[in-house]
Structures are given as C-alpha cells and as structure tokens.
Structure 1
Amino acid sequence: MSNLIKVIITVTCAAALSACELLHIPGPQTPVNDAPVEDANATYLCKTADTLEKFNDYCQLDRWSEFLLNVDGISWVERREIIKTLSEAPADRLQKVLLSQAEDTPYANRLRAQNWIRALKPVMDEQMQKVITVMVEQPSQQLLELESAITILSRVNTRQEKTISELQETLEARREELETQRDQVEQLLQIEANMSDEKRGN
C-alpha cells in the first residue's frame, strides 16, 4: 500500500472520529438562530452546489481513499490505459491525478499530474484545495525533486566514470609508449656496445 493511501485513510478516520465526538458532546441546549452552521462531517470537501456538481462523490474524502485502495497494486501500464479513458471534467481529472501517484509512476507522468492539480485548484473549494495540496501535491513534488536529484547525480557519476576510464586509457597508452622507447634505447645501447667490442677486437 502506498504512503499516499495510508495518509488519506488515517486522515479520513481521524476526521470521522472528530465528527462523532462533536455530535455526542453533552451540553445545554442553545436557541436556534439563522447563522450558518459548519457541517460536522469534516471529511466533506465541497461547500458549494457548483463544486458538488463538478466533483460528485469526490466531495467525500473517504471516496478518495476508496478509489486509491481499488487501484492499489495495479501496474502503471494498466493505470495509464484507465487515464486515457477519462475526460477533462473535474471529477475525471481528479481521478487521473490519483492514478498518477503510485511509486511506479514515471517522472514525466507524475509531473503531468502536478499540472492537472494546478488546473483543478481554481474550481475546488478551500477545504478540497488544502487536502489535495497536503496529501497529493506536496508529497508528489518531493518525489519529483528526489528523482531529479538522483538523475543529476547519476549523470555526474557517469561523466566521472567516463573521465576516469579515459584517463586510464591515456595512462596505459603512455605506458606502452615509454616501454617502446625504453626497448629502442636498449637496442641502440646494445648496438653501440657491439660496435665498441668489434673495434677493440680489431
């Protein structure tokens, strides 16, 4: 199970427990007034009819965790095909974002999901914006930065290995040159010694 799923499930449970506590706290009855009352269900992410129409079931945080649990363990290849079938409607785009959060999602596709999030935020209510930022966008951005750093480091190491290999080849070639030159000098010295011996013999 991915870290994102664990985080969403944990927050969903915590929010549900908090809502139950709010509903069962005893106290004196207060007169009813016309002031707006906050929904006790803290997992409800849509505060306007327009947002509710755009996101439907995904106004409930537990729908996010349910969706992630259903796709957990599905390979990226399969998830990619599901993404292709989804439209650009807000609820579908949100699903595409969630489908792009597993650890095996390629860098480019995770980056594309970040762009989808930025496009979705303006049509989300504040609570949903906070949820997608904290639970999806920020962790995904950290993974992107980590992958980018690893890629850069890998390239640096590759260049260093190539440089070391080239230096080793240069040193080996130079060693062979020196060996050849030494053989040539020894041959010349041997010729001169033989010539000196011949002169003395005469």
Structure 2
Amino acid sequence: MRSSFLVAALFFLAGCQNWNVDSNTAKRLDNQANKLVSNKDICLFNEPPADFTHNCDSAYWLNQWIAASEKTWQERKSTIQSFDESPFHILLTYIYTLPNDTPYQDRLRAQLALDKLAASFTPIAAKVIATVAGTQNTHMMELESALVVLEKENTARGEKINVLEKEAVTLRTKIEELLRIEATLMDKSRSTQQ
C-alpha cells in the first residue's frame, strides 16, 4: 500500500514538473511572438531614394511577388527588360526572378544587384527579405549550380566512356588478329611436325 502511494506521488510530481516546463515553453513562445514585426514596421529605407514609391507598403511588394508567380518567365523577362537601374526596379526585378522557372543567370544577376542595394535597407527590411526570399533563392541557385556541375561531369564521363568503348573495340580487333596469327602459327607448327 505504501509503495503504491509512493509511486502515485512520484508520477504526480513528475507530471507537475513536465507541466512547468510546458508553461515555461509557452511563456518563451509568447515572448518571441511579441518580437514579430507588423506590416507598419517594415520600411525598406529610412530615407527612400528619389522616385521610390511603396517604401513602407509590404502588401504592395507581396502582391508583386504573387503577380510575378502567376506569369511565365518570358512574360516576366519582357517586363524586366523595360526596367531601369533605379532601386525600385532593382527590387522589382529581384521579385520577378524569384519564381522557380527563372534561369540561373537571370536569378544570379538580380540577386547580385539586390545585394548591392540591400546595404541601404533598414535592418528589419534586410532581415525580412533574407528570411522570406533570400535564403530560399540562394539555396535554389546553389542547387542549380550543383546541377550544372553534375551535368558537366556526366558529359565528361560520357565522353570518356565513348573513348574507352572505342579503345575496347580496337583492342578486341587486335586480340582477334593476334589469335588468328597464333592459330595460323600453331597450324604451321603441327603440319611441320607431321
């Protein structure tokens, strides 16, 4: 009886301790949630460049991203070609190159242009862009780059295999010729011995 009570008390205390950890975790998550930014907190620049519209309008930029994802690469590319080198168009070009069907070179060019511009972003804008799009975009470019390297490696190996196959055919032909010569010499040797 006494041991049953002790076991029950231990389970109760262990449950209280786990509940305490869960409430601490919940408090920590609540504190993190309070640190998240709202739409009105995100301005791209403290002092936006001349003719830069929608500086603090993240909904505008998200809508541009959504609109870009609904267009083909050819449609986006023709739009990008009409852009100038202004900060507004650099950011818009970057957004237009985020969808997956964008070729590597165009994606890289837009990323490099944005990286130069990002130095003048507000810290929160730089963090949001890096978190929402930058990391995935960089990862996509790394995968595409690795794919190109693998394709080149496979092509080089395929060419080596073709060369080796031709050498194998040549060697096989030489071996067959040597076997015929050997057979002829063996026949002559037998005929002279008789």
**Alpha-carbon deviations, 1:40-73, whole Å to 9, x = none?**
x811322876228654225222112211222223
**Residue 59 in structure 1 maps to residue 56 in structure 2:** yes
1:154 deviates by 2.1
Tell me the equivalent position of 1:43: 39
Moved more, 76-85 or 159-168: 159-168
Aligned to 2:149: 152
Give distance in 2, aligned partners of 1:191 and 1:46: 97
Question: Hey, what's the Cα distance between the residues in 2 that align with 1:98 and 1:91?
Answer: 11
Q: Is the 8 A contact 1:111 1:144 kept in 2?
A: yes
Report the Cα offset of residue 114 of structure 1.
1.1
**SS across alignment from 1:117:** helix
If asked which structure has higher relative contact order (CA below 8 Å, sep 6+), I would say 1
TM-score by length of 1: 0.68
2:163 corresponds to which residue? 166
Task: Output the CA distance in 2 between the equivalents of 1:76 and 1:104.
Answer: 6
* RMSD (Å) for aligned C-alpha atoms: 2.6
Matched, 1:94 2:91: yes
Q: Is the 8 A contact 1:58 1:64 kept in 2?
A: no
| Post-superposition CA distance 1:17-57 (Å, at most 9, x none) | xxxxx9xxxxxxxxxxxxxxxxxx81132287622865422
Q: Are 1:118 and 2:115 matched, yes or no?
A: yes
Q: Distance in 1 between matches of 2:104 and 2:113?
A: 14
Residue aligning to 1:78: 75
- Does residue 179 of structure 1 match 2:176? yes
183, 188, 191: which one pairs with 2:185?
Answer: 188
Cα deviation, 1:158-201, whole Å, max 9, x if unaligned, reads 2223223322322221121111111122123323444555xxxx
Could you tell me how far apart the structure 2 residues matched to 1:48 and 1:101 are? 21
Aligned pair count reads: 159
Measure, in 1, the Cα distance between the counterparts of 2:141 and 2:167: 39
Cα distance change, pair 74–168 in 1 and its aligned pair in 2 (3 A): same
Partner letter of residue 65 of structure 1?
L
Aligned to 1:7: none
User: 2:68, 2:95 within 8 Å by CA — same for their partners in 1?
Assistant: no
- Determine the C-alpha separation between the residues in 1 that align with 2:186 and 2:69: 79
Contact 1:117 1:137 (C-alpha < 8 Å) held by counterparts:
no
Supply the distance in 2 between the matched residues of 1:146 and 1:130 (Cα, whole angstroms): 23
**Large movers: runs of 4+ above 3 Å:** 52-55, 191-197
2:105 aligned with 1:108, yes or no? yes
- Aligned AA for 1:42? S
1:51–1:123 contact (8 Å) kept in structure 2: no
Q: How does 1:16-27 map to 2 (within 5 A)?
A: none
**Identity over aligned pairs, percent:** 23
> Counterpart in 1 of 2:9?
none
2-side partners of 1:48 and 1:152: how far apart? 38
Gaps in structure 2 of 5+ consecutive residues: 1-33
3-state SS of 1:50 partner: coil
Does the 8 Å contact 2:48/2:55 carry over to 1? no
In the superposition, relative to structure 1, how do residues 164 and 52 fare at CA in structure 2: closer, same or farther (>3 Å)?
Answer: closer
Residue by residue, what CA displacement relative to the aligned partner does 1:70-107 show, whole Å, maximum 9, x if unpaired? 22231212211111111222222211110011111111
